[in-house]
C-alpha cells in the first residue's frame, strides 16, 4: 500500500486539547484536526467551506511517529479585543482598536507549546478520498495558504519534504522515510541528534485497526484512547471523539 509521509518540525508547535476557559493545553503529538487543517490550507480549502473540509477529513486515515516530544513551554497570554455589537463585524485589527476602542476588553489565557518537537505523519487513502496522494504531495510542496503547526504563532522551521512510500503497514512506511537533516550536520558531532534529542524511543499513534501499524507487534503492547479531534464542524469549532492507538518502541540497547 502507498502512504504519503511528511515531517512536522517547528521551533514552536501547539497541538490543542479540549480547551475550556483560560487554559489551552497542548499534547506531545499532533491531533487529527491539526494535520487536516494543515492539509486543507495547503490544498486551498477555506475554513468556511464545510463540505470540502468534511470530505477531506473523512477520506484518509493518519499515523504519527513521534521522534522527540521537545520541551514544554507555557505562555501567559494577554490580548485586547472589543466585544460583539449585533451583526457588525470588525474587518481588520485596526478596526478593532479604533472603531471598537470604547468596547475593548482584555482576555487572559495560559497557553502551552512544544519547542523543538519532531514527528513524521503518514496518510493512507480510504475509499471516498477526494484527492490522490500525489496531488496532496504537490500541494504540500507548494501550499496555497501559509502553513502552521497548530497556531498562527507556530510556523514551520523545516520543509515538510513529503514522500510517497510503499510499505506493509504504517510502521514500515514511517521507518522507511528519508528523514533529511534539519540542522547543518556532520558525522562527527551529530548536531541534529544532540540539539533535537532524537535519541528518545519513537512513539507511534494511529487510527483504524490495531494491526494497521505492524502485524508483528504484540497486541498487549498497544494502548487505545479516545481523543476529541475528529472534525465535526470547522465553522463552529466542533469535534467528535475517535479512537487512537499508541505503541512505544523499546529503547535500543547500547553496545558494550
Chain mean position to CA 204: 14
d(CA 10, CA 154): 7
Distance (Å) of CA 147 to CA 157, 159, 206: 11, 11, 22
pLDDT in tens, the chain (256 residues): 999 999 999 999 999 877 777 888 899 999 999 999 999 999 999 988 999 999 999 999 999 999 988 889 998 888 888 887 788 888 888 888 898 888 888 888 888 999 989 999 999 999 989 999 999 999 999 999 999 999 999 999 999 999 999 999 999 999 999 988 776 665 445 556 655 656 568 899 999 999 999 998 988 899 999 998 888 888 788 888 999 999 998 877 665 5
Nearest Cα neighbor of 113 from 78, 73, 154 is: 73
pLDDT of residue 198: 64
d(CA 64, CA 8): 10
d(CA 93, CA 99): 10
What predicted TM-score, i.e. pTM, was given to this entire model? 0.85
C-beta separation of 39 from 32 below 8 A: no
Nearest Cα neighbor of 17 from 29, 25, 5, 7 is: 25
d(CA 76, CA 109): 6
pLDDT of residue 93: 87
User: Which grid coordinates are listed for 30?
Assistant: 499532533
User: Which grid coordinates are listed for 203?
Assistant: 512513539
Ramachandran category for residue 237: left, alpha or beta (phi over 0 → left; psi -120 to 50 → alpha): left
- E-assigned strands of 26-142? 60-68, 71-82, 104-115, 118-125
d(CA 14, CA 34): 9
For residue 101, give the 3-state DSSP assignment: helix
Nearest Cα neighbor of 96 from 111, 81, 79 is: 81
User: Which grid coordinates are listed for 109?
Assistant: 489565557
Nearest Cα neighbor of 137 from 29, 30, 43 is: 43
Amino acid at each position: 500500500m502507498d502512504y504519503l509521509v511528511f515531517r512536522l518540525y517547528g521551533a514552536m508547535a501547539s497541538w490543542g486539547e479540549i480547551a475550556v476557559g483560560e487554559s489551552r493545553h497542548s499534547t506531545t503529538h499532533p491531533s487529527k484536526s491539526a494535520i487536516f487543517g494543515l492539509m486543507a490550507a495547503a490544498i486551498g480549502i477555506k475554513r468556511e467551506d464545510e463540505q470540502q473540509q468534511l470530505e477531506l477529513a473523512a477520506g484518509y486515515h493518519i499515523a504519527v511517529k513521534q521522534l522527540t516530544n521537545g520541551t514544554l513551554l507555557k505562555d501567559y497570554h494577554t490580548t485586547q479585543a472589543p466585544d460583539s455589537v449585533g451583526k457588525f463585524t470588525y474587518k481588520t485589527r485596526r478596526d478593532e482598536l479604533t472603531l471598537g476602542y470604547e468596547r475593548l476588553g482584555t482576555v487572559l489565557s495560559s497557553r502551552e507549546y512544544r519547542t523543538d518537537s519532531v514527528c513524521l505523519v503518514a496518510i493512507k487513502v480510504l475509499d471516498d478520498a477526494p484527492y490522490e496522494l500525489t496531488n496532496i504531495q504537490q500541494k504540500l510542496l507548494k501550499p496555497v495558504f501559509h502553513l502552521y503547526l497548530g497556531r498562527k504563532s507556530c510556523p514551520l522551521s523545516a520543509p515538510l519534504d513529503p514522500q510517497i512510500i510503499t510499505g506493509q503497514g504504517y510502521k514500515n512506511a514511517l521507518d522507511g522515510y528519508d528523514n533529511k537533516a534539519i540542522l547543518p550536520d556532520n558525522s562527527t558531532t551529530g548536531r541534529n541528534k544532540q540539539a533535537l534529542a532524537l535519541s528518545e524511543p519513537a512513539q507511534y499513534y494511529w487510527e483504524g485497526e490495531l494491526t494497521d501499524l505492524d502485524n508483528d507487534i504484540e497486541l498487549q503492547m498497544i494502548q487505545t484512547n479516545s481523543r476529541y479531534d475528529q472534525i465535526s464542524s470547522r465553522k463552529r469549532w466542533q469535534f467528535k471523539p475517535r479512537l487512537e492507538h499508541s505503541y512505544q518502541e523499546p529503547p535500543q540497547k547500547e553496545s558494550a
